Chain A
Amino acid sequence: MAMNSTGRPTAPADAQSTAQDVDTFSGSRGLLQAEPLLFEVGAADKCGVDLPDVPEHTSRLGGLERSEAIGLSGLSEPEAMRHYVRLSQRNYAIDLGLYPLGSCTMKHNPRLNEKLARLAGFADVHPLQPQSTVQGALALMGELSHWLCAITGMDAVALSPKAGAHGEWCGMMCIRAALQERGELSTRRRVLVPQSAHGTNPATAAECGFDIDELPADATGRVDMDVFRSKIGPDVAAVMLTNPNTCGLFERDIREIADLVHEAGGYFYCDGANLNAIMGKTRVRDLGVDAMHINLHKTFSTPHGGGGPGAGPVVLSKRLSQFAPVPYLVQDGDAWRLVEDDAQAEEKPFGRMCAFHGQMGMFTRALAYMMSHGADGLRQVSEDAVLNANYLLARLKGEMSPAFDGVCMHEALFDDTFLKNTDVTTLDFSKAMIDEGYHPMTMYFPLVVHGAMLIEPTETESKESLDRFADTLLSLAVAAKSGSSDRFVSAPVLAPLQRLDETQAARQPVLRWREA
């Protein structure tokens, strides 16, 4: 029998079994505890909150008392802690490892920002308490506005949009209002949107009542300028362009695009999802942009939280800023004031996007991030983000297939050419990354590239982390090409679950728990 250095027996080689072969009696697997649904572990009569006694009173519910049981399950506090801690351990997270989702900017989330967002003067103030009692919170919004305008060079910012897509809608509604004022809304119907755009762009333009006209990409992954010139005309309301685009490339002809759309009487909406690549290197104002949303949850590191909340402030050019929605912030001397009502507005707001004035909790975090970095740090952020992506591109291009030649911006795009003549697809390759301890890159997006794999490491990865990641991807690529498809087609086998049946989920939707 083989012994280790402390004299204990080690397992003989022929008795080794792989993790996926072991069935446990409990359903738990070592540190990974089995955990049913809340409704299966909780009970109607359990409660984890002690409340004061209900004072004597005469009910005034107007005969609308609930008579039916709600059906909720409760847990005591220790049970709740275990339930949700156990569930948390089934999630991948930035704090666990590199999260290379292209176009998502999964960077480190500083914990100072969490602490500051919880200060009572921001977290425990009501949106409608007298404005004289929230001057600190309003001043913070004013400071955030200053930073966003300085970084982009733009004239004004609308703070109320609650996420990127909501920001797109805000910007496009400003454009709509401007066209309406010019009396051209009925004649300018078309919005030009590249094929490589995020799905939110065409969806937003459609919600604003415009028709979508798609722009193809040229051989270099950028807007095909010949097609663009042929499509521009007096019926164009706007072009919506992401820059750098979703192929990870800077649109070299952006100034010409801006000039052409402006000459034709339209507007230039820029999707700011990829602002992380260009802060301190250029200002979108100097690129000719009229409106751009900024995803505070991407560039400015407010946590993604498993899908939100985000925040999507929109910076606006002078000619659009007058149409910004209510509420908006104005400064009178040392005092800050919110204009909340169309009737009081000196400008021409296109309307209201939501109750209250935006994602304050995200504003505090984003401003803390910006102040921590400063003008010098923000430029360094973009330089390091672009450097990291290009370093990965350089390390991977020998075995994987870059979609386009040359350098990239903050994300590197590959297609599935390197998997040709193998049994491995982009999906298989991505799932094999899970077994290697990595979250997959963005896959099958953008749509202009076959089997796309979009890798965005962000600036908060070290060189050592990038090297480990590159080594792993290179090994996987070599393995795929050598014809060993087993580790790919069944992957992942080391995650909490194997591949899930998405077809069944959609065909027979089970969207809630019900008592059996």
Chain B
Amino acid sequence: MRYLPLNEDDRAAMLARIGVSSVDDLFADIPDDARLGSLIEGLPEHAGEMAVERHFTALSKRSLSAGEAAFYCGGGAYRHHVPASVDHLIQRSEFLTAYTPYQPEIAQGTLQTLFEFQTQVAQLTGMGVANASMYDGSTATAEAVRMAVRITRRNKCVLAPGLHPHYAQTVHTSANGDKIEVNVLPPAMGKDLAVVDKLDNDTACVVVQNPNVFGELVDLTPLAEAAHAAGALLIAVTTEVISLGLVKSPGEMGADIVAAEGQSIGNGLNFGGPYVGLLACKDDRKFIRQAPGRFAGETVDASSKRGYVLTLSTREQHIRREKATSNICTNSGLCTLAFTIHLALLGELGLRKLAGLNHARACVLADRLGTIEGVEILNTSFFNEFTVRLPGNAAHAVEAMAKSGVLGGIPASRLFGAGEFDDLLLVATTETNTDDDDAVFEMALREVL
């Protein structure tokens, strides 16, 4: 077995040193009738690299990958180009095979990059501080709601009609144990402002996504003003973080907490995970004390050299146990590293250009699809994703396009369930698409309608 260094002589010598005659003596505490006498049933025996690779390659070929298709799916996960150097750097042993940086003297690599990550996230979102990551955008949103409830000592939250339904469901499920009252407005395209009508004295927060799940851009400023007037917090959600290179930041528009999906920077589609949840908030002790997860902070060592440590951990489960702000322990470490390196390579200049390119490609595509008879672009504004109304069932159109190698967006019914939105299609595009791809998509859509 190539991963096991002990040989039979080693094992015999070690058992002798321990003073037992067989390895089973070390398992004597397992109840007799619960001991497995033979190998685990239903599993094959060990396999070499070539055999395992053959199996995985065969499985991999049974899926149509984004790179093989004309690809226009978004809905909370986006396909962007990740420079080759990012994947190389995150595979360095020192990053890949390190644990959580609990021994800061020998973990400055991880800690300094986390400090850089937190700074980048704070800059992007226009917020004071950011934590060292959550699992993904949806769990970051659920944690942000619970955080707002603790800060305001109020018990209700209002979810905007443009919030990604998976996010709304995640919030709803997580609020269950805390008995937080979740008021989900029925999904609708241009009605995010309606949350204002639901504000009352018990409202801890309103949760608004921008761009919303239909791709429409939302001016958060009046929402923030209304929320603050009612003593509530505004939680701004972003599922496409590249948009922050071009669109006003949630901080600039008055958000108190930002929960976002960071996958678009540095991380691939990966069929839904691992991704990287961003959580940023105002630089206010009251907020920071109630924040979930880890923070890296700057300090000095015994010889006054600058260094970084995990800090403010009295909020966390390993210290605070049942009174912790969250049960999160492992977060998205290596995904934050990919995010930080990719964003360092982009820089201010690169991110702005990338965001501009995404928006331009979406504008060009919307114009192109709008020429198809019966196809209507529903958005008045968008970043790189928009909603189109088809003359028929969108799920059927998507299935039919897939047969010709076109992954032409996400039927809204996939997110909202069959019914009201059956004829709506969410279409996203990025810098990875070319005019030729757009032409293939247009032709495929024309054919299936």
Contacts and interface: CB of A to CB of B under 8 A. Distances in A.
B104 interface: yes
A364 B362 CA distance: 33
Nearest to A87: B109
A500 B94 contact: no
Contacts of B14: 387-388, 390-391, 463
A176 B299 contact: no
A168 interface: yes
B270 A104 contact: no
Interface string B80-114: 01010101011111111111110111111110110
A270 to B, nearest CB: 13
B173 interface: yes
Contact of A355 (B10, B41, B76): B76
B45 A376 contact: yes
A357 B95 contact: no
A93 B166 contact: no
A511 to B, nearest CB: 5
A448 interface: no
B97 A304 contact: yes
B302 A499 contact: yes
A48 interface: yes
Contacts of A125: 63-66, 269, 271
A162 B274 contact: yes
A402 interface: no
A458 to B, nearest CB: 10
A227 interface: no
Interface stretch (A2-10, A64-72, A480-488): A64-72
A512 B247 contact: no
Contact of A163 (B65, B307, B331): B331
Nearest to B9: A463
B368 to A, nearest CB: 11
Contact of B348 (A71, A91, A252): A71
B387 to A, nearest CB: 13
Contacts of A381: 4
Nearest to A394: B18
Interface string A441-460: 00001000000000000011
Given A129-B407, A165-B327, A202 B321 contact: yes
A90 B329 CA distance: 23
8 contacts: A48-B344, A57-B360, A74-B348, A306-B110, A344-B417, A355-B76, A502-B309, A513-B115
B150 to A, nearest CB: 12
A57 B43 CA distance: 57
Contact of A139 (B28, B62, B295, B308): B62
A509 B298 CA distance: 7
Given A280-B40, A306-B101, A134 B350 contact: no
Given A162-B274, A511-B311, 9 more contacts: A64-B248, A88-B109, A92-B103, A128-B73, A203-B320, A206-B322, A305-B96, A379-B39, A394-B17
A353 interface: yes
A355 B170 contact: yes
A229 to B, nearest CB: 18
B138 A354 contact: yes
A492 to B, nearest CB: 5
A47 interface: yes
Given A80-B345, A376-B46, A360 B123 contact: no
A120 interface: yes
Contact of B106 (A208, A393, A439, A501): A439
A67 B301 CA distance: 40
Contacts of A504: 299-300
Contacts of A38: 116, 119, 340, 344
Contacts of A390: 14, 18, 20, 26
Interface string B168-207: 0110111011110000000000000000000000000000
Given A252-B29, A371-B47, A407-B26, A462 B10 contact: yes
Nearest to A283: B36
A376 to B, nearest CB: 5
Given A47-B346, A394-B18, A510-B297, A173 B110 contact: no
Interface string A485-516: 00000101001111111101110011111000
Contact of A351 (B164, B176, B321): B176
Contacts of A299: none
Contact of A84 (B75, B89, B298): B89
A387 B323 contact: no
A296 to B, nearest CB: 11
With most chain B CB atoms within 10 A of its CB, the pick from A151, A203, A379 is A203
Interface stretch (B127-135, B152-160, B223-231, B439-447): B127-135
Interface residues of B, number: 215
A11 interface: no
B246 A165 contact: no
Interface in B318-334: 318-324, 326-334
B288 interface: yes
A306 to B, nearest CB: 4
B176 A48 contact: no
A23 B342 CA distance: 34
Contacts of A352: 166, 169-170, 172-173
A66 B238 CA distance: 15
A510 B347 CA distance: 22
Interface stretch (A307-315, A413-421, A471-479): A307-315
A393 B167 CA distance: 48
Nearest to A162: B135
A308 B138 CA distance: 17
Interface in A122-159: 122-130, 132-137, 139-140, 146-147, 150-151
A351 B169 contact: yes
B271 A122 contact: yes
Contact of B330 (A95, A297, A375, A490): A297
Interface string B353-373: 110110111111011000000
Contacts of B61: 121, 136
A388 B13 CA distance: 11
B83 A48 contact: yes
A121 B59 contact: yes
A431 B105 contact: yes
Given A54-B357, A287-B34, A431-B105, A304 B296 contact: no
Contact of A376 (B39, B122, B431): B39
A381 B23 CA distance: 12
Contact of A93 (B44, B93, B344, B399): B93
B33 interface: yes
B264 interface: no
A359 B275 CA distance: 8
B410 interface: yes
Contact of B332 (A278, A309, A325, A490): A309
